């Protein structure tokens, strides 16, 4: 991208709060039910029904506000956002407008140069989700499923502080991690619990005024966010460099074609006529309430990452990876505590082979086929020289397949490392005797051949000889 | 007592009769159903008559009484304004939009009265979506005033008021957003009460203007109103604007003397806009209160003349949003063969709503729209605070504010339908109480041109007890509330 242009991005993230029932009614929020089986009369906007606030959402919004160092409004108001659409039963969405529950927060990402960068969070507010429209299934009709109507959402709006698609993704990932850490959302993008709209504009570098922005709606994966922003940025630059002007509009990202396209224009012309909802009381939050919520906050990702580096002495990057989810971080800590081996060794196995196995089967850490203490056991067996690192990989796969813990597998498969010097000496002598030519060449100065001899000894011992000892004994014997 | 006299009895009297076994609930209901049959063609007070269900409920009431189970209202007949959702029964709100809407649930008001043993005889006619002061905007035709069939009974609870005035039922529920219980009560010579905002649950009451709507009753006596209000009132967790405040025994509070009662008279009320004979009847009523020991003081409500314009910004704004759910998608009227979504919306709503409803939706949309919100809706809500403050200051000096309920007696049907503004000015005395969330009552206090005149009483928040007490004491000294229109005796 041309250095002449600066990119300005703001993200609006809608995260579904993980309450059992809806924000204003008692109907279930569980995903995957038959259409229109989880919408009660209140959700359906029947004549005469009234909304009643689910108190848990207030607690969850406060948790989020505290986690991003924001101000929690002592008094916030629900407002009606009025527009007509068949998946919006009342003809208005209950949201928050002038007085949202959370304002002026921040979080930190690592920018493209590797430095800490502060991203401002303008506000976060509570609102109800609309139902779903299904356009492809029925011939000439659209299907409306109102199960989702009334599900609680927290809409999180960032300041336009992001300067690249990578930063945008880093910010989105951070928010994703935070809401899962707090237990306020499962952040499941496939199920629609975590959705992102991106506001994108460009301006000549050095210019203060913002360029015209477009909004790209409903991006539901980190990859799509990055691709969509990159496409849109280039598109806008091309338009401007051609002497044109960017049209302010809402666009959709087509992942198949990797391009953004304008949405149908009638979606634009809405005056939402916001006014405070007279059916609901203002949400009043006391300092005591906030202090109570603060007491329930878990250790947050940044704190945990720093603690891992300080307490376990592992690398920054590894700490960052391990703390992306609380569950993974907890797994690591359990394993590290159970192991005699250094924490870095444990970290390597969690980040390497364990994560690899989980990804292979599409599993989350909670479904790991190897328990934390058993992984610790495996790492310890390398640490105490019972097996080599290479053999350990075979043991790992066997443990993953359910053959038992490290000791059981080592025993059953006879994988114990050979460390008896005299046994190794005997095999070394045998190998040297069997390969006199190479022995000559080695003694003549071709030191690279040590690898050949190590390989032969390993073959003889089925890989079980301690590599270090093999090396040493070979060198001695080949002198 | 013969069944020919049932209709002359108040709820309290009927309750005693049922208790002593003088007659059964079934006999009572049968007699009143016959009266509906005989009179409703001329009055058009009913949209739905639930004869079978009423008889079954009456049988259950009688069976229960034989077993010694008696709710406070066991076997007593009532009717519900068709704005209250009633499970399994047509609930139309006076509109073509809900012409075929059978509600899947009961409003809290309906539930509480039924649980106390009341027997519903049917759903009464009303101005469409409660928008009107004459019961002429109903899709089901106007209701006629039993005192003069060429005249309006008032609105929007016109059917409820007419059915009580005609002695078809002793009591009816109603709703009041700008005067829709009190004004029809005044025009039909009945007793109507709108309690404090938040006193009675709005759950199941089809919303017109959410911050103004309240449920109440129309009866022939303050005593009957006290009995019913005691059952209806109280916190409901399904209504977030419902107030958790203890419900006093309104009936027990009726007997207190009026000695020392401070009654406020609003100077601005008795001006040129008030019909002469109405003013005279109201002044005489005030003398009666004085004779009973009350003192009269003039009070000033300086912002009261802003109440009608304020109301006609706030109420339409809220209703424009509340009525958005009527879109032909999930229930209610749907246009035939819609071509696309916009066509579905436009024709369903265009066909389903009457002119006054459309007028208010347009007004409401306008005052909320970008560029106008501050000048209209926001400003109106601020003025509303001023009006509420005026009342608060007045109630530091007086216990009750009294005056006329309506500026003139019942007007002829068709007289005001061409001029909405003139129609709106009917609510000039009653609207202030809704804007300030205060309780208000209207009780009969005389006649003007042979048509009933109502005395309007307003109290401070949770002043229902005082209002009912004042009304009851007045009714002990006068007989206006016992007068019956010719043909319904």
Q: What would you report as the CA-atom Rg of chain B, rounded to the nearest whole angstrom?
A: 21
In which region does residue A346 sit, left (phi positive, over 0), alpha (psi from -120 to 50) or beta (all else)?
alpha
Q: Compute the average pLDDT of residues A165-171.
A: 96
Angle at which helix B51-66 crosses helix B25-43, to 10 degrees, equals 160
B417 has a pLDDT exceeding 80:
no
Q: Compute the average pLDDT of residues A95-117.
A: 92
Q: What local confidence, expressed as pLDDT, does residue A388 receive?
A: 86
Give tens-digit pLDDT for B66-94: 998 878 999 999 999 999 999 999 999 99
**Residue count (chain B):** 489
Contact A154, A126 (CB under 8 A): yes
Please give the Cα distance from B333 to A47 (Å, whole number): 13
Q: Compute the average pLDDT of residues A316-330.
A: 94
Q: What local confidence, expressed as pLDDT, does residue A259 receive?
A: 93
> How far off is chain A from B205, nearest CA to CA, in Å?
5
Q: Could B324 and A47 be called an inter-chain contact, meaning their C-beta atoms sit closer than 8 Å?
A: no
Q: Could B373 and A275 be called an inter-chain contact, meaning their C-beta atoms sit closer than 8 Å?
A: yes
Q: What would you report as the CA-atom Rg of chain A, rounded to the nearest whole angstrom?
A: 30
Please give the Cα distance from A164 to A230 (Å, whole number): 8
- Two structure tokens written together for A57: 């959402």
Q: Is B412 helix (H, G, I), strand (E, B) or coil?
A: strand
Give tens-digit pLDDT for B186-216: 999 999 999 999 999 999 999 999 999 999 9
Residue among B103, B237, B368 whose CB faces A275 most closely: B368
Q: What local confidence, expressed as pLDDT, does residue A2 receive?
A: 65
Kindly list the residues from chain B whose CB atom is less than 8 angstroms away from the CB atom of residue A145: none
Query: DSSP letters along B220-267, please?
Result: SSHHHHHHHHHHHBS--TT-TT----PPP-TTGGGG---TT-EEEEEG
pLDDT level of residue A449 (50, 70, 90 thresholds): confident
Pick from B129, B283, B308, B115: nearest CA to B206:
B129
Q: What local confidence, expressed as pLDDT, does residue A268 receive?
A: 54
Complex ipTM: 0.96
A28 has a pLDDT exceeding 70:
yes
Q: Could B321 and A80 be called an inter-chain contact, meaning their C-beta atoms sit closer than 8 Å?
A: yes
B156 classed as catalytic: yes
Residue with the larger pLDDT of the pair B117 and A432 = B117
Give tens-digit pLDDT for A262-283: 986 555 568 999 999 999 999 9
**What percent of chain B clears pLDDT 90, i.e. is strictly above it?**
93
Could you say which of B133, B134, B156, B442 is catalytic?
B156
- How does A331-344 read in b/e, with b if 16+ C-beta sit within 10 Å? bbbbbbebbebebe
> For the ranges A157-166, B229-238, B263-272, B470-479, which has the lowest average pLDDT?
B263-272
Would an 8 Å CB–CB cutoff place A273 in contact with chain B? yes
Would an 8 Å CB–CB cutoff place A24 in contact with chain B? no
Please give the Cα distance from B133 to B136 (Å, whole number): 8
Q: Which residues are CB-neighbours of B59 under 8 A, at least 6 positions away? A: B25, B26
User: Which ranges of A121-270 does DSSP label H, i.e. alpha helix?
Assistant: 165-181, 222-241
Would an 8 Å CB–CB cutoff place A86 in contact with chain B? yes
Helix (H) or strand (E) holding B353: none
- How does A90-125 read in b/e, with b if 16+ C-beta sit within 10 Å? bbbbbbbbebbbbbebebebebeeeeebebbbbbbb
Please give the Cα distance from A464 to A467 (Å, whole number): 8
Please give the Cα distance from A427 to A210 (Å, whole number): 75
A135 has a pLDDT exceeding 70:
yes
Mutate to test the interface with B, among A39, A44, A47 (most CBs of B within 10 A): A47
Q: Could B321 and A275 be called an inter-chain contact, meaning their C-beta atoms sit closer than 8 Å?
A: yes
- Cis status, amide bond into A242, omega within 30 of 0: no
Pick from A129, A63, A137, A54: nearest CA to A90:
A129
Give tens-digit pLDDT for B282-334: 999 999 999 999 999 999 999 988 999 999 999 999 999 999 999 999 999 99
Kindly list the residues from chain A whose CB atom is less than 8 angstroms away from the CB atom of residue B324: 82, 84, 90-92
Q: Compute the average pLDDT of residues A454-473.
A: 87
Q: Could B93 and A273 be called an inter-chain contact, meaning their C-beta atoms sit closer than 8 Å?
A: no
pLDDT level of residue A464 (50, 70, 90 thresholds): confident
Kindly list the residues from chain A whose CB atom is less than 8 angstroms away from the CB atom of residue B240: 50-53, 279-281
Pick from A135, A43, A67, A57: nearest CA to A96:
A57
Nearest residue in A to B378, CA atom: A275
Q: Compute the average pLDDT of residues B96-117.
A: 98
Residue among A45, A52, A82 whose CB faces B240 most closely: A52
Give tens-digit pLDDT for A246-265: 999 999 999 899 999 998 65
CA dihedral sign of residues B339, B341, B342, B343: positive
Give tens-digit pLDDT for B142-181: 999 999 999 999 999 999 999 999 999 999 999 999 999 9
Which CB contacts under 8 angstroms, 24+ apart, belong to A311-316?
A312/A336, A312/A343, A312/A344, A312/A347, A313/A342, A313/A343, A313/A344, A314/A343, A314/A344, A314/A347, A315/A344, A315/A347
Give tens-digit pLDDT for B238-262: 999 999 999 999 999 999 999 999 9
- Two structure tokens written together for A376: 């610790």
What's A369's DSSP letter? Answer: S
> How far off is chain B from A230, nearest CA to CA, in Å?
34
Residue among A45, A52, A278 whose CB faces B211 most closely: A278
Q: Compute the average pLDDT of residues B217-242.
A: 98
A137 burial class (0-12, 13-18, 19+ CB within 10 angstroms)?
exposed
Phi first, then psi: give them for residue A199, nearest 5 degrees.
-100, 120
Straight-line distance from the first to the last Cα atom of chain A, in angstroms, rounded to the nearest whole number: 60
Q: Could A92 and B327 be called an inter-chain contact, meaning their C-beta atoms sit closer than 8 Å?
A: no
B449 classed as catalytic: no
Q: Could A44 and B330 be called an inter-chain contact, meaning their C-beta atoms sit closer than 8 Å?
A: yes
Kindly list the residues from chain B whose CB atom is less than 8 angstroms away from the CB atom of residue A50: 202-203, 238-241
Q: Which residues are CB-neighbours of B30 under 8 A, at least 6 positions away? A: B3, B55
Kindly list the residues from chain A whose CB atom is less than 8 angstroms away from the CB atom of residue B325: 45-47, 89-91
Please give the Cα distance from B322 to A92 (Å, whole number): 9
Would an 8 Å CB–CB cutoff place A144 in contact with chain B? yes
In total, the C-beta contacts within 8 angstroms joining chain A to chain B are 95
Kindly list the residues from chain B whose CB atom is less than 8 angstroms away from the CB atom of residue A92: 321, 324
Q: Compute the average pLDDT of residues B352-357.
A: 97
Could you say which of B81, B123, B194, B416 is catalytic?
B81
Q: What local confidence, expressed as pLDDT, does residue A263 receive?
A: 83
B242 classed as catalytic: no
Q: Compute the average pLDDT of residues A346-363.
A: 95
Angle at which helix B307-322 crosses helix B379-397, to 10 degrees, equals 130
Q: What local confidence, expressed as pLDDT, does residue A58 receive?
A: 98
**What percent of chain A clears pLDDT 90, i.e. is strictly above it?**
77
Q: What local confidence, expressed as pLDDT, does residue A264 receive?
A: 67
Could you say which of B180, B242, B320, B348 is catalytic?
B180
Phi first, then psi: give them for residue A297, nearest 5 degrees.
-65, 135
């Amino acid at each position: 991208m041309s250095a002449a242009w600066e990119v300005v991005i703001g993200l609006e993230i809608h995260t579904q709060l993980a309450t059992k029932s809806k924000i204003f009614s008692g109907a279930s929020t569980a995903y995957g039910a038959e259409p229109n089986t989880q919408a009660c009369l209140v959700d359906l906007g029947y004549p005469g029904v009234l909304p009643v606030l689910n108190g848990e959402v207030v607690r969850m919004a406060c948790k989020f506000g505290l986690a991003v160092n924001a101000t929690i409004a002592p008094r916030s108001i629900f407002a009606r956002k009025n527009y007509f659409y068949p998946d919006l039963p009342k003809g208005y969405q209950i949201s928050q407008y002038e007085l949202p529950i959370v304002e002026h927060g921040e979080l930190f990402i690592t920018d493209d140069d590797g430095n800490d960068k502060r991203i401002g969070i303008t506000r976060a507010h509570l609102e109800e989700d609309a139902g779903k429209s299904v356009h492809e299934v029925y011939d000439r009709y659209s299907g409306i499923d109102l199960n989702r109507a009334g599900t609680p959402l927290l809409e999180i709006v960032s300041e336009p502080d992001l300067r690249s698609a990578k930063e945008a993704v880093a910010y989105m990932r951070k928010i994703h991690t935070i809401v899962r850490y707090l237990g306020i959302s499962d952040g499941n993008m496939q199920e629609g619990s975590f959705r992102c709209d991106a506001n994108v504009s460009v301006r000549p570098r050095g210019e203060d005024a913002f360029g015209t922005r477009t909004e790209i709606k409903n991006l539901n994966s980190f990859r799509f966010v990055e691709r969509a922003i990159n496409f849109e940025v280039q598109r806008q630059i091309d338009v401007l460099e051609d002497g044109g002007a960017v049209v302010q509009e809402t666009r959709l990202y087509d992942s198949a074609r990797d391009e953004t396209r304008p949405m149908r224009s009638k979606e634009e012309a809405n005056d939402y006529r916001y006014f405070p909802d007279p059916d609901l009381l203002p949400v009043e939050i006391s300092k005591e309430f906030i202090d109570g919520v603060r007491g329930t906050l878990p250790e947050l990702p940044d704190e945990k990452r720093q603690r891992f580096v300080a307490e376990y002495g592992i690398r920054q990057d590894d700490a960052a990876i391990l703390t992306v989810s609380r569950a993974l971080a907890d797994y690591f800590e359990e394993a590290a505590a159970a192991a005699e081996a250094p924490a870095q060794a444990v970290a390597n196995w969690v980040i390497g082979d364990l994560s690899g196995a989980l990804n292979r089967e599409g599993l989350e850490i909670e479904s790991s086929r190897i328990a934390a203490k058993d992984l610790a056991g495996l790492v310890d067996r390398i640490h105490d020289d019972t097996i080599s690192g290479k053999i350990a990989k075979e043991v790992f796969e066997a443990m993953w397949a359910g053959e038992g813990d490290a000791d059981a597998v080592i025993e059953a498969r006879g994988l114990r490392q050979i460390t008896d010097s005299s046994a190794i000496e005997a095999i070394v002598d045998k190998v040297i005797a069997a390969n006199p030519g190479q022995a000559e060449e080695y003694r003549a100065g071709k030191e690279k051949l040590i690898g050949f001899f190590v390989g032969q000894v390993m073959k003889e011992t089925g890989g079980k000889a301690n590599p270090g000892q093999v090396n040493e004994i070979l060198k001695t014997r080949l002198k | 007592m013969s069944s020919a006299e049932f209709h002359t009895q108040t709820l309290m009297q009927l309750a005693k009769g049922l208790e002593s076994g003088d007659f059964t609930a079934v006999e009572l209901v049968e007699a009143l159903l016959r009266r509906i049959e005989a009179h409703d063609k001329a009055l058009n007070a009913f949209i739905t008559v639930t004869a079978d269900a009423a008889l079954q409920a009456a049988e259950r009431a009688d069976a229960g009484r034989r077993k010694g189970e008696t709710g406070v209202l066991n076997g007593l007949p009532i009717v519900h304004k068709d704005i209250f959702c009633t499970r399994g029964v047509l609930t139309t709100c006076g509109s073509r939009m809900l012409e075929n809407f059978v509600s899947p649930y009961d409003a809290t008001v309906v539930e509480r009265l039924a649980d106390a043993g009341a027997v519903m005889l049917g759903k009464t006619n009303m101005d469409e979506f409660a928008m009107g002061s004459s019961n002429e905007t109903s899709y089901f035709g106007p209701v006629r005033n039993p005192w003069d069939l060429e005249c309006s009974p008032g609105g929007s609870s016109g059917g409820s008021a007419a059915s009580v005035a005609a002695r078809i039922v002793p009591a009816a529920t109603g709703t009041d957003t700008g005067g829709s219980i009190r004004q029809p009560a005044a025009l039909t010579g009945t007793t109507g009460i709108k309690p404090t905002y938040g006193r009675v649950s709005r759950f199941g009451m089809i919303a017109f203007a959410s911050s103004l709507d309240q449920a109440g009753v129309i009866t022939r006596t303050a005593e009957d109103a006290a009995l019913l209000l005691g059952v209806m009132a109280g916190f409901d967790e399904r209504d977030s604007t419902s107030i958790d405040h203890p419900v006093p025994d309104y009936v027990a509070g009726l007997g207190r003397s009026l000695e020392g009662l401070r009654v406020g008279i609003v100077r601005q009320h008795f001006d040129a806009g008030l019909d002469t004979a109405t003013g005279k009847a109201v002044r005489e009523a005030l003398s009666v209160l004085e004779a009973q020991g009350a003192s009269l003081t003039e009070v000033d409500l300086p912002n009261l003349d802003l109440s009608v314009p304020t109301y006609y910004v706030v109420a339409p704004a809220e209703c424009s949003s509340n009525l958005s759910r009527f879109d032909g998608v999930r229930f209610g009227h749907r246009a035939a063969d819609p071509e696309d979504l916009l066509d579905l919306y436009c024709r369903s709503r265009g066909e389903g709503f009457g002119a006054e409803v459309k007028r208010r939706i347009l007004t409401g949309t306008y005052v909320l729209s970008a560029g106008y919100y501050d000048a209209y809706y926001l400003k109106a809500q601020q003025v509303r605070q001023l009006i509420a403050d005026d009342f608060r200051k007045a109630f530091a000096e007086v216990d009750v504010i009294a005056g006329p309920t309506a500026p003139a007696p019942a007007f002829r049907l068709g007289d005001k339908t061409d001029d909405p503004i003139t129609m709106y000015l009917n609510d000039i005395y009653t609207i202030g109480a809704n804007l300030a969330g205060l309780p208000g009552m209207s009780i009969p206090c005389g006649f003007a041109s042979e048509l009933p005149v109502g005395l309007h009483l307003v109290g401070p928040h949770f002043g229902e007890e005082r209002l009912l007490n004042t009304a009851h004491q007045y009714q002990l000294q006068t007989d206006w509330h016992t007068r019956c229109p010719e043909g319904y005796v």
